[in-house]
Amino acid sequence: MTELRAGQGAQTLAPPRIEARPQRYRDVLIALAAFVVLALLPMMFGSKQLLDFVIRCAAYGLFATSLNLLVGYTGLISFGHGMFFGLGAYGFGLMMQKTGVPIPVAFLVTLAITCVIAVIIGAICVRLKEIYFAFVTLAFQMLIHSTILSWQSLTGGDQGLRGGIPRPPFLGIDLSNHLHLYITSCALLVIGLLLMRQIAQSPFGYTLRMIRDNATRASFIGIDVWRAKLVIFVLAALFAATGGMIMALFVSGAYPEFAYWTISGEGIFINMLGGVTTFLGPMVGTVLLLILNDTVTRLTEYHGIVLGVVILFFAIGLRKGLMDFVVEWFAQRRGEGRG
């Protein structure tokens, strides 16, 4: 059906080059500024809790934003994206515990393993229609979860990877030092977001939007839909695994909950909470969910009810995420000012 290759078809959709370049510089500048602000945070507020919070935001934020590449940009509703979060955490933890290679090596090898697994799972899943896709990814998530539970000799079963993950210093960066861990997490977050932003704004990113809006038309134009979906599935998996690795470093271990379906459910919820139409929506959603989770668990043991009601409020009441709402509100105000 497709004689043209994905890249060639995509070029017709590319935004004008003149605009693209300044925007890239702007993104890099924003990323640098964000990193500087985050790096200065420990000097202004010494509280360990705040730093912990930012590290968790980095882990979940990378995960949720990568899920948005699938859900928001490509229209692939993955309900098993959390498996790559878990894979990242376990892959990295095991690599550090069993082999003792330097941290960057373990990082890259984990990404490579995730890439291979994501290609296999993605090749099976991405040709399925949306609801099948959602649940087959969920089933793969449960497959990985039950593998982790049953492969006790390697993963420690339901106890998780215990005994801590060794974190030998590398080039003067000592990740067992809380401040170093914090800065590294922030750096990974900012770099990850910047890369994902580049993917989203690239011609390939626009190809994905087109597949979301009308896959049939995209394939008539000569785009290999299956391949484009597979590529973004694998790329998103890599960023999710990075989030998982930050989490493994943070808790110095890996637990089966990291690969459980609720992580995927939370990811979808975060996207909904923040909104999928803006790039930073999932990041906003992450911060909101973590604050919500922390407050609610402190106040009541029935936090499922509270979270459920909040989800219902957004899904049925507001019908969109917070960032979608804010963006629309601004657009409306600007419209009024002009008119």
Partner 1 sequence: MDLDALASCLASPACLVTQTTSGLIIGMLLFLVAVGLTLIFGVLKVVNFSHGAFYMFGAYFAMTAYQLTGSFALAILAGAAGTAILGLTFERLFMSRVYGRDVLMQLLVCYAFVLIFDDVVRMIWGPEFKSMGMPAAFQVPPLFIAGGVVPPYYLLLIGVALAAAVVLGLGLARSRIGKVIRAAAHNPGMVSALGINTGLIYGGVFALGGMLAGLAGALAAPVRSLTPGMGFSVLIESFIVTVIGGMGSILGALIGALLIGLIRSFGSLSFPLFTEGLMYLFMVIVLVSRPTGLFGKEVA
Chain residues binding partner 1 by CB under 8 A are 71, 77, 79, 124, 127-132, 134-136, 138-140, 142-143, 146-147, 149-150, 152, 261, 265, 268-269, 272, 276, 302-305, 307-309, 311-312, 314-316, 319
3-state secondary structure 38-100: HHHHHHHCCCHHHHHHHHHHHHHHHHHHHHHHHHHHHCCCCCCCHHHHHHHHHHHHHHHHHCC
Cβ proximity to partner 1, 99 vs 150, nearer residue:
150
- Least CB distance to partner 1 at residue 266 (A): 9
Helix-helix angle 303-312:261-274, to 10 degrees: 40
Cβ proximity to partner 1, 178 vs 303, nearer residue:
303
DSSP H helical segments within the chain, as ranges?
6-11, 17-44, 48-68, 82-98, 103-125, 130-150, 152-155, 178-201, 203-213, 215-221, 225-251, 261-274, 281-299, 303-312, 322-338
Token digits of residue 245: 């690795």
- Least CB distance to partner 1 at residue 146 (A): 4
Cβ proximity to partner 1, 57 vs 272, nearer residue:
272
Q: Any bridge partners for residue 170, and if so which?
A: 173
Cβ proximity to partner 1, 12 vs 150, nearer residue:
150
Cβ proximity to partner 1, 76 vs 241, nearer residue:
76
Token digits of residue 42: 């420990």
Cβ proximity to partner 1, 3 vs 301, nearer residue:
301
Give the span between the Cα atoms of 265 and 20, in whole angstroms.
34
Cβ proximity to partner 1, 9 vs 285, nearer residue:
285
Token digits of residue 130: 């949306």
Give the span between the Cα atoms of 304 and 326, in whole angstroms.
27
- Least CB distance to partner 1 at residue 99 (A): 25
- Least CB distance to partner 1 at residue 269 (A): 7
Cβ proximity to partner 1, 10 vs 144, nearer residue:
144
- Least CB distance to partner 1 at residue 296 (A): 11
- Least CB distance to partner 1 at residue 193 (A): 22
Q: Residue with structure tokens 């890099």?
A: 28
Give the span between the Cα atoms of 239 and 287, in whole angstroms.
18
- Least CB distance to partner 1 at residue 75 (A): 8
- Least CB distance to partner 1 at residue 305 (A): 4
Give the span between the Cα atoms of 49 and 161, in whole angstroms.
24
Among candidate residues 17, 31, 72, the one with its CA nearest the CA of residue 324: 72
